[in-house]
Amino acid sequence: MEFITIKRENAVACIEMNRPPANALAQALLKELAQAFGQLENDPETRVVLLYGKGRFFSAGADIKEFVQLRKSGGSDALAVSGQELFEKVEAFPKPVIAAIHGAALGGGLELAMACHIRLVTENAKLGLPELSLGLVPGFAGTQRLPRYVGRGKAFEMLWTSEPLTGTEAVQHGLANHAYKEEELLPKARALAEKIAKKSPLALKASIELVNYAKTNDYEKGLEQESARFLELFGSKDAEEGIKAFIEKREPRFTGA
């Protein structure tokens, strides 16, 4: 794989994302993530998965330049659905998945992290969903998962302002489990992963299934509506302006069209 490296040690499989400069979740990276989780699902040597990004970021979000190509090619139809399917697989993965977040987890990057079972962050990490700045909404279940962690009011604030939480704030609002100094993050994450890996694989799998029973039919309907609205907005003039403004590093001028 070009953008993913898997290393196994003490029953922990470390998935490292490496797509410079920001580990943007382009379709190629998403496909490799799906491949990596597919490999590890039935690997008897793997009991816990640790996911992190190489370089300055966990993942700074979607590849906005790829958005431009998708708008031109008309290939956006399956974009939200494929991302949702992958992140649903991560959340239902039969082995614990821990996200170790440094730098930033924004947009799709935060949506990926929210699909993991546990999130560990650096104190100064940035976690947010800035899609409304592009004239869009999150497309990978962000609107469905974020309120489960931070509550409806804080979720609306984060969506509407596009302002991220720091790692420390994310812990305070329930979006992350623990915040550490930069140099402590991966050692702490590995220690937690190895501690969890000592538990019975059967019991770990059962606990994941049981906790996920709390997901309702409304959640599934929400996923369908999110992908539909994402695609609707993706074709709007406001989205065209938002994407263009992002690339040109200026304030977008939305008209409601």
- Taking residues 193-214, report their average pLDDT: 95
Which residue numbers are catalytic? Answer: 111, 131
DSSP one-letter code for 28: H
Question: Contact, 108 vs 63, CB < 8 A?
Answer: no
The tokens describing 43, both together, are 């690997």
Can you state the angle between helices 64-73 and 217-234, rounded to 10 degrees?
80
pLDDT greater than 70 at residue 244: yes
23-73: pLDDT as tens digits: 999 899 999 999 999 999 999 999 999 999 999 999 998 888 888 787 776
Res 64: pLDDT: 85
What's the whole-model pTM score? 0.93
Q: Which residues contact 233 (CB under 8 A, 6 or more apart)?
A: 135, 136, 137, 239
Looking at the chain, the whole-number percentage of residues with pLDDT higher than 70 is 98
Q: Report d(CA 134, CA 131) in Å as an integer.
A: 5
The confidence band for 202, taking pLDDT boundaries of 50, 70 and 90, is very high
63-117: pLDDT as tens digits: 888 887 877 766 566 677 788 999 999 999 999 999 999 999 999 999 999 999 9
The tokens describing 121, both together, are 């962050």
Q: Report d(CA 124, CA 137) in Å as an integer.
A: 25
Give alpha helix (H) positions in 92-200: 108-115, 142-150, 152-161, 167-172, 185-197
Amino acid at the residue 253:
R
Q: Which of 257, 248, 254 is nearest to 64 (CA)?
A: 248
Sheet holding 126-128, edge to edge: 104-106, 126-128, 165-166
Q: Which residues contact 193 (CB under 8 A, 6 or more apart)?
A: 12, 48, 50, 96, 98
Instruction: Note the Cα 29 to chain centre separation in Å.
Output: 12
CATH no. for 4-182: 3.90.226.10
